[in-house]
Amino acid sequence: MPELWTLAVITRMGNLKQDIDKSADWIARALRSSNYRANFTPQSLWDVDIFFDDHSRDGAPKPGGLLSQQMGARLFALGAYVGEVIRRGVGGEWQTDDSDPQGEINVALKLPDGSLIWPVQRVMKRLKNGSEDGIAVYGSALGLSVGARPAPFSPFRG
């Protein structure tokens, strides 16, 4: 397992907005260390889908895969990353409630048109339901130009 994946994401160190920023940056570095293209572009949402294809099956983490450890922190970080890609692409503002015991799951992104989306919940659905709840399709539906799915490859070398 690449070294960056062994680092723990510690949420609730500050407030949730700070945790979102730190977690999105951490997971982007960790994904890149495993050769996923995590550069905050709309096209990188395909690599989040590929990551889930590589490390989960039938609604659960694959044994020994990168979701088999620290799953909650990693799902939060993936949701933060997805939300940041969307926020940077179409605009919006994070809505958080630091007093909510389920705050990490319930963070929302308020889009410029006033609608709310829940990126962490979406990545949880992606894990549970597979490609039918794809991340790139989600971004595309929100107005991002994600392009075509890249040719199959296996970026994970661990």
Paired strand residues for 117: 109
Query: What percent of the chain clears pLDDT 90, i.e. is strictly above it?
Result: 82
The pLDDT, as a whole number, for residue 157 is: 45
Tell me the C-alpha distance between 67 and 54, whole Å. Answer: 10
The pLDDT, as a whole number, for residue 4 is: 53
* Residue at token pair 């503002």: 93
* Element at 10 (helix H, strand E): none
Q: Which residues are CB-contacts of 14 (< 8 A; sequence separation ≥ 6)? A: none
Asked if 145 contacts 42 with a C-beta cutoff of 8 angstroms, the reply is: yes
Tell me the C-alpha distance between 18 and 24, whole Å. Answer: 10
The pLDDT, as a whole number, for residue 153 is: 62
Give all domains of the chain, ordered by start, each with its CATH number. Answer: 3-141 (1.20.120)
Asked if 133 contacts 126 with a C-beta cutoff of 8 angstroms, the reply is: yes
* Element at 53 (helix H, strand E): helix 45-55
Asked if 49 contacts 117 with a C-beta cutoff of 8 angstroms, the reply is: no
Asked if 149 contacts 46 with a C-beta cutoff of 8 angstroms, the reply is: yes
Tell me the C-alpha distance between 92 and 54, whole Å. Answer: 30
**In the predicted model, what is the mean pLDDT of the chain?**
89
Residue 12 has pLDDT above 60, yes or no: no
The pLDDT, as a whole number, for residue 49 is: 97
Amino acid at site 74 = R
In this prediction, residue 6 has a pLDDT band, given cuts at 50, 70 and 90, of low
Tell me the C-alpha distance between 70 and 67, whole Å. Answer: 7
pLDDT tens-digit readout, 49-100: 999 999 999 999 999 999 999 999 999 999 999 999 999 999 999 999 999 9
Residue 32 has pLDDT above 90, yes or no: yes
pLDDT tens-digit readout, 36-60: 999 999 999 999 999 999 999 999 9
